[in-house]
Amino acid sequence: MKPGTAWVGAPLWVGAPAVDVNQTAIGESIPQAAIGAQTVRDDAPLLTSNVSSAAEGRGGASAQW
Amino acid sequence: MPSGDEVLSSQDVGYVEAVVAREQQRCGVDFSVYLGDLPDGRESALGLHSALGANAENAVLMAIDPGRRITEIVTGERSRVWVDDRACALATLSMLSSLQLGDWVGAIDRGLTTLGDQARHPASLHVGLPQD
């Protein structure tokens, strides 16, 4: 992996992604998030910070949406 | 359902690469972006960060798995000095609305810009060596 460049893992996209990226296309159904419904969604984004790998000196954050 | 190659166009990839270069130049941290499968979540992202080799300690990896709907940001031992965990959390928050809409490029742009804002090194007040 070459640092400093965007690495889009095309080979890793074997099979269809679970998320329907067509939902934002014109004429398609309006995504739930686009109508402000995310505030009442059951699957609200889960943000995890302080996920540092202290032993290796690494840090960062995780989120699930 | 589009195939993987249709998720990002070559124009999108070029745009992301430009954002990476811009933020890298702005703050001196090596950013890398991965969009794809993260079967083991955080562990997978840590493995990808390690794959940066000797550059890993000064690198920040942003990894997005659209299928599992997870985002991981991993900082190295040195880059963590400039990009702390709070900055990473802020960056992921800034990405969430775009991610929920499936706007991968927008999410990456917002996240990297936030990281770049947070990562700017403080100005050096003394750059020369003391005279003998």
Nearest to A57 among B55, B80, B95 (CB): B80
Give the number of domains in chain A.
1
Q: What is the mean pLDDT of residues A30-36?
A: 45
A59 to B1: CB separation less than 8 angstroms, yes or no = no
Domain annotation covers residue B130 = no
Of the given ranges (A25-29, B107-111, B126-130), which has the lowest mean pLDDT?
A25-29
pLDDT digits (tens, 9 = 90+) for B93-119: 999 999 989 899 999 999 999 999 988
A46 touches chain B (CB under 8 A): no
State the pLDDT at residue A49.
53
Domain extent, residue B109, equals 6-119
A26 touches chain B (CB under 8 A): no
Sign of CA dihedral B114, B47, B97, A12: positive
pLDDT band per the 50, 70, 90 thresholds, residue A35: very low
Domain annotation covers residue A32 = yes
State the pLDDT at residue A43.
54
A31, pLDDT greater than 70? no
What stretch of H or E contains A62? Answer: strand A59-64
Domain extent, residue A33, equals 19-64
Domain annotation covers residue A46 = yes
Tokens of A15: 């099979």
H helix intervals, B51-132: 79-82, 85-100, 104-119
Domain annotation covers residue A54 = yes
B16, pLDDT greater than 70? yes
Give the number of domains in chain B.
1
The distance of B25 to chain A (nearest Cα, Å) reads: 10
Tokens of B107: 């999410």
Domain annotation covers residue A5 = no
What CATH number is given to the structural domain containing B72?
Answer: 3.10.310.50
Domain annotation covers residue A6 = no
Model ipTM value = 0.80
pTM reported for the whole predicted model: 0.69
Domain annotation covers residue A59 = yes
A39 touches chain B (CB under 8 A): no
Domain annotation covers residue B124 = no
